[in-house]
Amino acid sequence: MKLKTDILIIGGGISGLTLAIKLAELTKDQKILIITKETLIDCNTYNAQGGIACVWDKTDSFKKHIQDTVIAGDGLCDENVVKEIITQAPERINELIDLGVSFNRNENGQYDLGREGGHSQRRVLHVNDLTGEAIQNVLIKNVKAHSNIEIKENWCAVNLYAQNFKCYGAYVLDQNNKEIHNIAAKAVILATGGTGKIYLYTTNPDVASGDGIAIAYRAGATITNMEFIQFHPTCLYHPYAKSFLISEALRGEGAILKDVYGNEFIEKYHPLKELAPRDIVSRAIDAELKRSGDDYVYLDIASYKDATFIKKNFPRIYENCLKFNIDITKEPIPIVPAAHYCCGGVMAKIDGTTDVNNLFVIGESACTGFHGANRLASNSLLEGLVSAHECANILNEKISKLEIKEFPEWEPGNAVPSTEAVIITQNWDEIRRFMWNYVGIVRTDKRLKRAKKRINLLLDEIDQYYWDFKIEKNLVELRNLATVAKIIIVSAISRKESRGIHYNLDHPMKSEMSRSTTIKRPW
Protein backbone atom coordinates (compact mmCIF):
# COMPACT_ATOMS: atom_id res chain seq x y z
CA MET A 1 0.00 0.00 0.00
CA LYS A 2 1.24 3.47 -0.88
CA LEU A 3 1.09 6.04 1.92
CA LYS A 4 2.14 9.68 2.17
CA THR A 5 3.19 11.95 5.01
CA ASP A 6 5.10 15.19 5.25
CA ILE A 7 7.52 14.00 7.95
CA LEU A 8 8.30 10.36 8.75
CA ILE A 9 9.96 9.68 12.12
CA ILE A 10 11.22 6.12 12.58
CA GLY A 11 11.69 5.47 16.30
CA GLY A 12 9.93 6.67 19.43
CA GLY A 13 12.46 7.33 22.18
CA ILE A 14 13.44 10.69 23.65
CA SER A 15 14.85 12.08 20.39
CA GLY A 16 12.01 10.93 18.13
CA LEU A 17 9.18 12.02 20.43
CA THR A 18 10.80 15.34 21.36
CA LEU A 19 11.28 16.08 17.67
CA ALA A 20 7.64 15.25 16.92
CA ILE A 21 6.36 17.55 19.67
CA LYS A 22 8.53 20.46 18.53
CA LEU A 23 7.64 19.97 14.86
CA ALA A 24 3.93 19.73 15.66
CA GLU A 25 4.14 23.16 17.29
CA LEU A 26 6.36 24.74 14.62
CA THR A 27 4.75 23.27 11.50
CA LYS A 28 1.06 22.95 12.31
CA ASP A 29 0.10 22.37 8.65
CA GLN A 30 2.49 19.41 8.22
CA LYS A 31 1.50 15.80 8.85
CA ILE A 32 3.89 13.87 11.09
CA LEU A 33 3.95 10.07 11.21
CA ILE A 34 5.84 8.20 13.95
CA ILE A 35 6.42 4.48 13.47
CA THR A 36 7.83 2.18 16.15
CA LYS A 37 8.94 -1.43 15.75
CA GLU A 38 7.08 -2.44 18.87
CA THR A 39 5.28 -0.17 21.37
CA LEU A 40 6.25 3.34 22.39
CA ILE A 41 7.77 2.09 25.64
CA ASP A 42 9.98 -0.52 23.97
CA CYS A 43 13.09 1.63 23.68
CA ASN A 44 16.33 2.48 25.45
CA THR A 45 14.90 5.76 26.76
CA TYR A 46 12.21 4.00 28.79
CA ASN A 47 14.85 1.78 30.39
CA ALA A 48 17.28 4.59 31.26
CA GLN A 49 17.86 4.72 35.01
CA GLY A 50 20.57 7.26 35.82
CA GLY A 51 19.35 10.61 34.49
CA ILE A 52 20.40 13.59 32.38
CA ALA A 53 23.67 15.42 32.92
CA CYS A 54 23.35 19.19 33.11
CA VAL A 55 25.19 22.09 34.71
CA TRP A 56 22.64 23.16 37.30
CA ASP A 57 24.39 23.94 40.58
CA LYS A 58 26.27 27.25 40.97
CA THR A 59 29.42 25.38 42.05
CA ASP A 60 29.47 23.65 38.64
CA SER A 61 30.29 25.19 35.24
CA PHE A 62 29.99 24.50 31.54
CA LYS A 63 33.76 24.42 31.41
CA LYS A 64 33.88 21.53 33.88
CA HIS A 65 31.17 19.53 32.11
CA ILE A 66 32.88 20.10 28.76
CA GLN A 67 36.21 19.03 30.22
CA ASP A 68 34.74 15.86 31.74
CA THR A 69 33.09 14.97 28.41
CA VAL A 70 36.27 15.56 26.41
CA ILE A 71 38.39 13.54 28.86
CA ALA A 72 35.97 10.62 28.65
CA GLY A 73 35.95 10.92 24.83
CA ASP A 74 39.70 10.29 24.85
CA GLY A 75 40.77 12.67 22.09
CA LEU A 76 38.00 12.07 19.53
CA CYS A 77 35.29 14.49 20.68
CA ASP A 78 34.40 17.40 18.43
CA GLU A 79 34.81 20.15 21.02
CA ASN A 80 32.53 22.56 19.15
CA VAL A 81 29.76 19.96 19.27
CA VAL A 82 30.46 19.27 22.95
CA LYS A 83 30.23 22.96 23.79
CA GLU A 84 27.00 23.44 21.82
CA ILE A 85 25.20 20.50 23.42
CA ILE A 86 26.34 21.16 26.98
CA THR A 87 25.54 24.87 26.94
CA GLN A 88 22.03 24.11 25.66
CA ALA A 89 21.35 21.61 28.45
CA PRO A 90 19.63 23.88 31.01
CA GLU A 91 17.20 25.29 28.44
CA ARG A 92 16.34 21.89 27.00
CA ILE A 93 15.80 20.38 30.47
CA ASN A 94 13.61 23.29 31.51
CA GLU A 95 11.47 22.43 28.48
CA LEU A 96 11.13 18.87 29.80
CA ILE A 97 10.12 20.24 33.19
CA ASP A 98 7.52 22.46 31.50
CA LEU A 99 6.13 19.39 29.72
CA GLY A 100 5.64 17.70 33.09
CA VAL A 101 8.78 15.81 34.10
CA SER A 102 9.22 16.03 37.88
CA PHE A 103 12.89 15.50 38.71
CA ASN A 104 13.76 14.59 42.29
CA ARG A 105 14.21 17.39 44.80
CA ASN A 106 16.01 17.35 48.15
CA GLU A 107 14.69 18.44 51.54
CA ASN A 108 15.53 22.06 50.68
CA GLY A 109 13.40 21.96 47.55
CA GLN A 110 16.43 22.07 45.24
CA TYR A 111 16.91 19.51 42.49
CA ASP A 112 18.70 16.45 43.81
CA LEU A 113 21.80 16.11 41.63
CA GLY A 114 23.47 12.73 41.33
CA ARG A 115 27.09 11.99 40.44
CA GLU A 116 28.28 9.27 38.13
CA GLY A 117 31.55 7.93 36.79
CA GLY A 118 33.76 10.45 35.00
CA HIS A 119 31.91 13.50 36.37
CA SER A 120 33.84 15.95 38.55
CA GLN A 121 30.61 17.39 40.00
CA ARG A 122 27.11 16.34 40.97
CA ARG A 123 25.08 17.28 37.89
CA VAL A 124 22.72 14.41 37.04
CA LEU A 125 19.03 15.25 37.28
CA HIS A 126 16.96 12.14 37.85
CA VAL A 127 13.62 10.66 38.92
CA ASN A 128 14.85 8.07 41.43
CA ASP A 129 16.16 5.28 39.17
CA LEU A 130 13.15 5.59 36.85
CA THR A 131 14.28 8.65 34.90
CA GLY A 132 13.76 7.24 31.43
CA GLU A 133 10.33 5.85 32.25
CA ALA A 134 9.22 9.19 33.70
CA ILE A 135 10.47 11.14 30.67
CA GLN A 136 9.04 8.68 28.15
CA ASN A 137 5.58 8.72 29.75
CA VAL A 138 5.49 12.53 29.72
CA LEU A 139 6.59 12.66 26.08
CA ILE A 140 4.00 10.07 25.02
CA LYS A 141 1.25 12.06 26.73
CA ASN A 142 2.32 15.25 24.97
CA VAL A 143 2.70 13.58 21.56
CA LYS A 144 -0.80 12.17 21.76
CA ALA A 145 -2.18 15.65 22.47
CA HIS A 146 -1.22 16.87 18.96
CA SER A 147 -3.75 16.24 16.21
CA ASN A 148 -1.18 16.44 13.41
CA ILE A 149 0.90 13.55 14.83
CA GLU A 150 -0.06 9.99 13.90
CA ILE A 151 1.50 7.00 15.67
CA LYS A 152 1.81 3.50 14.23
CA GLU A 153 3.11 0.88 16.66
CA ASN A 154 4.39 -2.52 15.52
CA TRP A 155 5.48 -1.07 12.17
CA CYS A 156 9.02 -2.16 11.30
CA ALA A 157 11.18 -0.22 8.82
CA VAL A 158 12.65 -2.62 6.24
CA ASN A 159 14.58 -0.26 3.95
CA LEU A 160 14.79 3.36 2.91
CA TYR A 161 14.06 4.33 -0.67
CA ALA A 162 16.97 6.48 -1.81
CA GLN A 163 18.48 7.35 -5.18
CA ASN A 164 21.59 9.41 -5.89
CA PHE A 165 22.01 10.19 -2.19
CA LYS A 166 18.47 11.51 -1.79
CA CYS A 167 15.88 9.82 0.43
CA TYR A 168 12.22 9.72 -0.61
CA GLY A 169 10.72 7.54 2.11
CA ALA A 170 10.76 4.01 3.48
CA TYR A 171 9.40 0.51 3.03
CA VAL A 172 7.72 -0.49 6.28
CA LEU A 173 6.35 -3.85 7.48
CA ASP A 174 2.97 -3.60 9.20
CA GLN A 175 3.27 -6.53 11.57
CA ASN A 176 -0.45 -6.62 12.30
CA ASN A 177 -1.46 -7.61 8.77
CA LYS A 178 1.96 -8.66 7.37
CA GLU A 179 1.72 -6.00 4.66
CA ILE A 180 4.67 -3.88 3.47
CA HIS A 181 3.78 -0.23 2.89
CA ASN A 182 5.89 2.25 1.01
CA ILE A 183 5.66 5.57 2.83
CA ALA A 184 6.66 8.62 0.80
CA ALA A 185 7.75 11.67 2.80
CA LYS A 186 9.40 15.05 2.38
CA ALA A 187 11.88 14.14 5.11
CA VAL A 188 12.77 10.93 6.95
CA ILE A 189 14.23 10.99 10.45
CA LEU A 190 15.89 7.92 11.96
CA ALA A 191 15.69 7.85 15.75
CA THR A 192 15.95 4.09 16.14
CA GLY A 193 18.34 3.84 19.08
CA GLY A 194 21.24 1.50 19.64
CA THR A 195 22.85 -1.80 18.72
CA GLY A 196 23.08 -3.72 22.00
CA LYS A 197 21.38 -6.90 20.78
CA ILE A 198 24.39 -7.56 18.58
CA TYR A 199 26.08 -8.82 21.77
CA LEU A 200 25.33 -11.81 23.97
CA TYR A 201 25.09 -9.70 27.13
CA THR A 202 23.46 -6.30 26.90
CA THR A 203 21.50 -3.81 28.96
CA ASN A 204 19.42 -2.89 25.89
CA PRO A 205 15.86 -4.06 25.14
CA ASP A 206 15.27 -6.55 22.32
CA VAL A 207 14.44 -3.81 19.81
CA ALA A 208 18.03 -2.47 19.82
CA SER A 209 19.30 -4.33 16.75
CA GLY A 210 20.98 -1.43 14.94
CA ASP A 211 18.16 -0.96 12.43
CA GLY A 212 18.68 2.75 11.73
CA ILE A 213 22.40 2.39 11.15
CA ALA A 214 21.91 -0.57 8.81
CA ILE A 215 19.19 0.97 6.65
CA ALA A 216 21.06 4.29 6.46
CA TYR A 217 24.18 2.41 5.37
CA ARG A 218 22.24 0.64 2.61
CA ALA A 219 20.90 4.05 1.50
CA GLY A 220 24.45 5.35 1.07
CA ALA A 221 25.02 7.25 4.32
CA THR A 222 28.49 7.35 5.86
CA ILE A 223 28.92 5.36 9.09
CA THR A 224 31.63 6.38 11.53
CA ASN A 225 33.43 5.24 14.70
CA MET A 226 31.49 1.98 15.09
CA GLU A 227 34.36 0.27 16.89
CA PHE A 228 33.43 2.31 19.96
CA ILE A 229 30.82 0.13 21.68
CA GLN A 230 30.45 1.07 25.32
CA PHE A 231 30.12 -1.76 27.80
CA HIS A 232 28.31 -0.87 31.01
CA PRO A 233 30.23 -2.29 33.98
CA THR A 234 27.21 -3.45 35.95
CA CYS A 235 24.45 -5.64 34.53
CA LEU A 236 22.60 -8.00 36.89
CA TYR A 237 24.01 -11.52 36.66
CA HIS A 238 21.28 -14.13 37.03
CA PRO A 239 20.15 -16.95 34.70
CA TYR A 240 16.63 -15.51 34.49
CA ALA A 241 17.39 -11.78 34.64
CA LYS A 242 17.18 -10.43 31.12
CA SER A 243 19.26 -7.36 30.30
CA PHE A 244 18.70 -5.58 33.61
CA LEU A 245 21.01 -2.61 34.18
CA ILE A 246 22.32 -1.78 37.63
CA SER A 247 22.64 2.00 37.45
CA GLU A 248 25.97 3.76 37.77
CA ALA A 249 24.19 5.97 40.28
CA LEU A 250 24.70 3.25 42.92
CA ARG A 251 28.45 3.72 42.62
CA GLY A 252 27.87 7.46 42.72
CA GLU A 253 26.22 6.96 46.10
CA GLY A 254 29.01 4.81 47.52
CA ALA A 255 28.49 1.22 46.28
CA ILE A 256 31.76 -0.75 46.12
CA LEU A 257 32.92 -3.42 43.68
CA LYS A 258 34.17 -6.65 45.27
CA ASP A 259 35.21 -10.07 44.08
CA VAL A 260 33.26 -13.17 45.12
CA TYR A 261 35.38 -13.38 48.30
CA GLY A 262 34.52 -9.84 49.35
CA ASN A 263 37.83 -8.23 48.36
CA GLU A 264 37.88 -4.74 46.82
CA PHE A 265 39.90 -4.54 43.61
CA ILE A 266 39.13 -1.47 41.51
CA GLU A 267 41.81 0.75 43.09
CA LYS A 268 44.42 -1.35 41.27
CA TYR A 269 43.12 0.01 37.97
CA HIS A 270 42.31 3.70 38.49
CA PRO A 271 42.63 6.32 41.26
CA LEU A 272 38.94 7.27 40.90
CA LYS A 273 38.07 3.66 41.73
CA GLU A 274 34.32 3.06 41.34
CA LEU A 275 33.88 6.50 39.78
CA ALA A 276 36.37 5.91 36.97
CA PRO A 277 35.00 6.12 33.39
CA ARG A 278 32.96 3.16 32.24
CA ASP A 279 35.55 1.70 29.88
CA ILE A 280 38.10 1.44 32.66
CA VAL A 281 35.67 -0.10 35.16
CA SER A 282 34.43 -2.59 32.54
CA ARG A 283 37.96 -3.66 31.63
CA ALA A 284 38.87 -3.96 35.30
CA ILE A 285 35.95 -6.30 35.95
CA ASP A 286 36.71 -8.26 32.78
CA ALA A 287 40.34 -8.65 33.86
CA GLU A 288 39.31 -9.86 37.32
CA LEU A 289 36.91 -12.42 35.87
CA LYS A 290 39.51 -13.72 33.41
CA ARG A 291 42.08 -13.96 36.21
CA SER A 292 39.81 -15.72 38.70
CA GLY A 293 37.65 -17.76 36.35
CA ASP A 294 34.54 -16.58 38.19
CA ASP A 295 31.30 -15.74 36.38
CA TYR A 296 30.62 -12.45 38.16
CA VAL A 297 31.74 -9.95 40.75
CA TYR A 298 29.69 -8.12 43.37
CA LEU A 299 28.45 -4.55 43.70
CA ASP A 300 27.84 -3.84 47.37
CA ILE A 301 25.68 -0.93 48.51
CA ALA A 302 24.07 -2.74 51.45
CA SER A 303 27.21 -2.32 53.57
CA TYR A 304 27.34 1.44 53.04
CA LYS A 305 23.73 2.73 52.91
CA ASP A 306 20.72 1.92 55.05
CA ALA A 307 17.65 0.18 53.68
CA THR A 308 15.48 3.31 53.72
CA PHE A 309 17.94 5.23 51.53
CA ILE A 310 18.28 2.34 49.07
CA LYS A 311 14.53 1.77 48.69
CA LYS A 312 13.84 5.49 48.28
CA ASN A 313 16.56 6.21 45.74
CA PHE A 314 16.65 2.92 43.81
CA PRO A 315 13.12 1.51 43.87
CA ARG A 316 13.27 -0.18 40.46
CA ILE A 317 16.61 -1.86 41.13
CA TYR A 318 15.44 -2.96 44.58
CA GLU A 319 12.16 -4.39 43.28
CA ASN A 320 13.68 -6.09 40.23
CA CYS A 321 16.50 -7.71 42.18
CA LEU A 322 13.99 -8.90 44.79
CA LYS A 323 12.20 -10.82 42.01
CA PHE A 324 15.33 -12.96 41.81
CA ASN A 325 15.62 -13.33 45.61
CA ILE A 326 18.38 -10.72 45.86
CA ASP A 327 17.72 -8.18 48.60
CA ILE A 328 20.11 -5.32 47.83
CA THR A 329 19.49 -3.78 51.28
CA LYS A 330 21.05 -6.89 52.86
CA GLU A 331 23.42 -8.44 50.32
CA PRO A 332 25.67 -7.48 47.39
CA ILE A 333 24.46 -7.66 43.79
CA PRO A 334 26.09 -10.15 41.39
CA ILE A 335 27.04 -8.24 38.22
CA VAL A 336 28.85 -8.56 34.87
CA PRO A 337 29.68 -5.98 32.18
CA ALA A 338 27.30 -5.83 29.20
CA ALA A 339 27.03 -4.00 25.85
CA HIS A 340 25.31 -0.72 26.61
CA TYR A 341 25.78 2.17 24.16
CA CYS A 342 26.96 2.76 20.60
CA CYS A 343 29.22 5.83 20.44
CA GLY A 344 29.50 5.55 16.66
CA GLY A 345 26.69 5.63 14.13
CA VAL A 346 25.51 7.49 11.06
CA MET A 347 27.74 10.51 10.53
CA ALA A 348 25.50 13.50 11.27
CA LYS A 349 25.53 17.08 12.44
CA ILE A 350 23.84 18.08 15.70
CA ASP A 351 20.69 18.86 13.70
CA GLY A 352 20.64 15.33 12.26
CA THR A 353 21.77 16.31 8.76
CA THR A 354 23.54 13.45 6.94
CA ASP A 355 25.22 13.09 3.55
CA VAL A 356 21.96 11.68 2.14
CA ASN A 357 19.58 14.54 1.28
CA ASN A 358 16.29 14.59 3.23
CA LEU A 359 17.58 11.89 5.61
CA PHE A 360 18.18 12.97 9.20
CA VAL A 361 19.55 10.83 12.04
CA ILE A 362 19.36 11.77 15.72
CA GLY A 363 19.98 10.10 19.06
CA GLU A 364 22.04 6.95 19.54
CA SER A 365 21.85 6.02 15.84
CA ALA A 366 23.83 9.15 14.99
CA CYS A 367 27.49 10.01 15.50
CA THR A 368 27.79 13.76 15.94
CA GLY A 369 31.24 13.82 17.55
CA PHE A 370 29.77 14.50 20.99
CA HIS A 371 30.88 11.27 22.64
CA GLY A 372 34.19 10.68 20.89
CA ALA A 373 35.76 7.37 21.86
CA ASN A 374 33.69 6.93 25.03
CA ARG A 375 30.41 8.42 26.25
CA LEU A 376 30.33 10.20 29.59
CA ALA A 377 27.56 8.85 31.84
CA SER A 378 24.12 10.50 31.46
CA ASN A 379 25.14 12.46 28.37
CA SER A 380 23.02 10.31 26.03
CA LEU A 381 19.54 11.60 26.89
CA LEU A 382 21.00 15.11 26.74
CA GLU A 383 22.26 14.61 23.20
CA GLY A 384 18.87 13.25 22.16
CA LEU A 385 17.12 16.34 23.50
CA VAL A 386 19.46 18.86 21.88
CA SER A 387 19.61 17.08 18.52
CA ALA A 388 15.80 16.86 18.42
CA HIS A 389 15.60 20.61 19.07
CA GLU A 390 18.13 21.45 16.35
CA CYS A 391 16.55 19.01 13.90
CA ALA A 392 13.13 20.60 14.46
CA ASN A 393 14.58 24.01 13.67
CA ILE A 394 16.28 22.93 10.45
CA LEU A 395 13.18 21.04 9.27
CA ASN A 396 10.99 24.03 10.05
CA GLU A 397 13.18 26.07 7.70
CA LYS A 398 13.25 23.46 4.91
CA ILE A 399 9.99 21.52 4.96
CA SER A 400 7.84 23.96 2.98
CA LYS A 401 10.37 23.84 0.13
CA LEU A 402 10.44 20.04 -0.07
CA GLU A 403 8.10 17.83 -2.07
CA ILE A 404 6.72 14.32 -1.65
CA LYS A 405 7.82 12.03 -4.45
CA GLU A 406 6.12 8.65 -4.81
CA PHE A 407 8.22 5.57 -5.49
CA PRO A 408 7.53 1.95 -6.55
CA GLU A 409 5.66 -0.43 -4.29
CA TRP A 410 7.49 -3.29 -2.61
CA GLU A 411 8.17 -6.15 -5.01
CA PRO A 412 8.14 -9.52 -3.20
CA GLY A 413 9.38 -11.46 -6.23
CA ASN A 414 9.15 -15.23 -5.75
CA ALA A 415 9.43 -15.10 -1.96
CA VAL A 416 7.39 -17.69 -0.07
CA PRO A 417 6.45 -18.05 3.63
CA SER A 418 9.40 -19.23 5.71
CA THR A 419 9.72 -22.94 6.45
CA GLU A 420 13.15 -22.66 8.09
CA ALA A 421 12.85 -20.09 10.87
CA VAL A 422 15.50 -22.03 12.78
CA ILE A 423 18.08 -20.38 10.48
CA ILE A 424 17.16 -16.99 11.95
CA THR A 425 17.54 -18.09 15.58
CA GLN A 426 20.73 -20.06 14.84
CA ASN A 427 22.43 -17.20 13.03
CA TRP A 428 21.28 -14.61 15.57
CA ASP A 429 22.73 -16.69 18.41
CA GLU A 430 26.00 -17.33 16.58
CA ILE A 431 26.55 -13.65 15.75
CA ARG A 432 25.89 -12.52 19.31
CA ARG A 433 28.27 -15.13 20.74
CA PHE A 434 31.24 -14.46 18.47
CA MET A 435 30.73 -10.71 18.77
CA TRP A 436 30.93 -11.09 22.56
CA ASN A 437 33.98 -13.37 22.46
CA TYR A 438 35.91 -11.78 19.58
CA VAL A 439 34.76 -8.14 19.40
CA GLY A 440 33.99 -7.47 23.05
CA ILE A 441 35.59 -5.52 25.88
CA VAL A 442 39.14 -6.67 25.05
CA ARG A 443 40.09 -7.46 21.44
CA THR A 444 43.03 -8.88 19.49
CA ASP A 445 43.85 -8.87 15.78
CA LYS A 446 43.38 -12.63 15.59
CA ARG A 447 39.95 -12.50 17.23
CA LEU A 448 38.84 -9.71 14.90
CA LYS A 449 39.96 -11.66 11.82
CA ARG A 450 38.03 -14.70 13.04
CA ALA A 451 34.95 -12.54 13.52
CA LYS A 452 35.25 -11.06 10.01
CA LYS A 453 35.52 -14.51 8.45
CA ARG A 454 32.41 -15.70 10.31
CA ILE A 455 30.31 -12.63 9.55
CA ASN A 456 31.09 -12.81 5.83
CA LEU A 457 29.80 -16.40 5.69
CA LEU A 458 26.70 -15.56 7.68
CA LEU A 459 25.90 -12.47 5.63
CA ASP A 460 25.82 -14.58 2.47
CA GLU A 461 23.49 -17.06 4.15
CA ILE A 462 21.22 -14.34 5.55
CA ASP A 463 21.10 -12.52 2.22
CA GLN A 464 19.94 -15.66 0.43
CA TYR A 465 17.29 -16.26 3.09
CA TYR A 466 16.15 -12.63 2.79
CA TRP A 467 15.40 -13.01 -0.93
CA ASP A 468 13.88 -16.50 -0.72
CA PHE A 469 11.31 -15.92 2.03
CA LYS A 470 8.68 -13.34 2.86
CA ILE A 471 9.68 -10.49 5.12
CA GLU A 472 9.05 -10.73 8.86
CA LYS A 473 10.39 -8.67 11.76
CA ASN A 474 12.89 -11.30 12.98
CA LEU A 475 14.43 -11.51 9.51
CA VAL A 476 14.66 -7.71 9.20
CA GLU A 477 16.39 -7.53 12.59
CA LEU A 478 18.80 -10.38 11.79
CA ARG A 479 19.80 -8.76 8.49
CA ASN A 480 20.38 -5.41 10.18
CA LEU A 481 22.21 -6.98 13.10
CA ALA A 482 24.58 -8.83 10.77
CA THR A 483 25.21 -5.71 8.68
CA VAL A 484 26.07 -3.62 11.73
CA ALA A 485 28.19 -6.43 13.20
CA LYS A 486 30.37 -6.37 10.08
CA ILE A 487 30.64 -2.58 10.24
CA ILE A 488 31.83 -2.85 13.85
CA ILE A 489 34.35 -5.56 12.96
CA VAL A 490 35.78 -3.71 9.94
CA SER A 491 36.00 -0.49 11.97
CA ALA A 492 37.77 -2.26 14.85
CA ILE A 493 40.27 -3.89 12.49
CA SER A 494 41.12 -0.53 10.95
CA ARG A 495 41.92 1.10 14.30
CA LYS A 496 45.51 0.12 15.10
CA GLU A 497 45.53 1.53 18.62
CA SER A 498 43.68 1.34 21.93
CA ARG A 499 41.55 4.37 22.66
CA GLY A 500 38.47 4.95 24.79
CA ILE A 501 36.26 1.89 24.71
CA HIS A 502 38.21 0.19 21.90
CA TYR A 503 40.97 -1.86 23.54
CA ASN A 504 43.20 -4.15 21.48
CA LEU A 505 45.93 -6.18 23.19
CA ASP A 506 48.01 -6.14 20.00
CA HIS A 507 47.92 -2.33 19.88
CA PRO A 508 47.81 -1.25 23.54
CA MET A 509 49.08 2.30 23.00
CA LYS A 510 47.31 5.34 21.56
CA SER A 511 48.33 6.64 18.18
CA GLU A 512 49.42 10.26 17.98
CA MET A 513 47.60 10.60 14.64
CA SER A 514 44.25 9.14 15.69
CA ARG A 515 41.16 10.06 13.69
CA SER A 516 37.64 8.82 13.09
CA THR A 517 37.00 5.66 11.08
CA THR A 518 34.41 5.76 8.30
CA ILE A 519 32.54 3.03 6.44
CA LYS A 520 30.60 3.63 3.25
CA ARG A 521 29.13 1.30 0.64
CA PRO A 522 30.74 -0.70 -0.88
CA TRP A 523 32.81 -2.22 1.91
d(CA 427, CA 407): 33
CA-nearest of 185, 218, 216 to 406 is: 185
Question: Which segments of 219-348 does DSSP mark as H helices, in order?
Answer: 249-252, 278-292, 307-313, 315-322
d(CA 183, CA 177): 16
Element spanning 82, H or E: helix 79-99
- Active-site residue identified among 115, 123, 251, 278: 278
- Going by the DSSP 8-state scheme, the letter that residue 510 receives in this structure is P
Please check whether residue 167 is in contact with residue 219, taking contact to mean a CB–CB distance below 8 angstroms.
yes
Q: DSSP string of 358-418?
A: TEEE-GGGEE-SSSTTSPPTT-HHHHHHHHHHHHHHHHHHHGGG------PPP--TT-B--
Considering Cα of 125, then 128, then 133, then 136, what sign does the dihedral take?
A: negative
Considering Cα of 445, then 447, then 452, then 453, what sign does the dihedral take?
A: positive
CA-nearest of 335, 361, 334 to 350 is: 361
**Catalytic residue flag (residue 278):** yes
Residue 453 C-beta-side C-alpha neighbours within 13 Å:
7
**Torsion angles phi and psi, residue 174, rounded to 5:** -85, 105
Catalytic residues: 278
